Structure 1
């Protein structure tokens, strides 16, 4: 069943260290991808999926991204003085989000069906987390090993599936992770121990745009 009025959290707080000098003065989500900030591609995906409640966390160069987000109706959660990582960021924001909620990394390039709509259409009520995946052979700018093995819809660590940076996840069990700063990987491992970590394969093309070289290639590629 598709959750009603689901929210979205965009992870926009990272330092962008793999971008080198490009992120000295510009937050990674504000770097240009085919003529517009990466974050705008994420917002376009969200709007196309019919989402109305959108939150983004910020930290690195907060002042250089927060006004842009707010101008698009995005609620901004400034992580200060310390960055909380993806799991800690989601935990800090959960009272402002639905459960389940969608989450999205902005440093990805999608060609094909709307990834958030795909997650919503494949959600089942008994799931705790549904991760969007691509086989390693279709993951541009990623090399083996993969992140997960997919059996039916259940996920286990290792294998040939790559996490794309999009998921639909319940937040009610985040308290099982006692740390304030932690990666979503810790939460996924917790869910996997009880068989509650699930996945679905994205049928379109996906590229990781997390490095300077991958961004340059994406901007030099012909429009599809």
Structure 2
């Protein structure tokens, strides 16, 4: 199975730490944040990982090499000087990911979720891992029903963890899903993944699960320091 790690962001809320180091390469408990993901992906049977890059892109191959130390093959999907957002970045990386379902992980989260729990073949177009709403996102993102189906709106919404399994077919009609969003007209296009997920949810094509363990969106120096 293949996986994608989002690592292209500029990490502007983490300045000055990210002025010289990409956020996924900042150390957490003795090793770069992204290495926690690579280890868990390898444990889950992933053999190839695509890392999308933009800001300080040259540091990733220098720090991670080709993935030999984790028994992985790493590929780098460079997006240019401006990141393509999550949707545009995933679309740009699809040629490296093949035709089967793949895992995608935000490079700037830390958690104890076991990637071996993820379905290798989601029932629909995507399967998302949700967590309890943190203080910085009290209203949550999506609703998880008792049967595992996901809804874009609902009374009890949870926060998307940044971990999911996707089918390339999610992008089959991406232009109509995002409408006239700024960036869609660029080459390559720049857009967020959320509108595609909401469209797939309306069609009943997204499932999910709730992870009640540890999870942190490492978005500020304070959250990074809190991890120890």
Instruction: Report the TM-score when normalising by structure 1.
Output: 0.86
Note the C-alpha offset of 1:172: 1.6
Note the C-alpha offset of 1:160: 2.6
Map 1:126-137; keep pairs closer than 5 Å: 126-136=123-133
Alignment partners' CA distance in 1, 2:136 and 2:102: 26
1:150 paired to 2:130? no
Structure 1 gaps of 5+ residues are: 1-5, 220-224
| Residues 119-152 of structure 1: CA deviation (Å, up to 9, x unaligned) | 127x54x31100001132xx4x544111111112
Map 1:160-199; keep pairs closer than 5 Å: 160-178=157-175, 179=184, 180-199=189-208
Structure 1 runs (4+) deviating above 3 angstroms are none
Q: 1:143 to 1:86 in 2, by over 3 A?
A: closer
Secondary structure at 1:173 match in 2: helix
Alignment partners' CA distance in 1, 2:28 and 2:7: 15
Matched-pair contact (CA < 8 Å) for 1:135–1:161: yes
Alignment partners' CA distance in 2, 1:60 and 1:85: 12
Note the C-alpha offset of 1:203: 4.0
RMSD: 1.7
Matched-pair contact (CA < 8 Å) for 1:58–1:66: no
Alignment partners' CA distance in 1, 2:81 and 2:22: 17
1:208 paired to 2:217? yes
Instruction: Report the TM-score when normalising by structure 2.
Output: 0.84
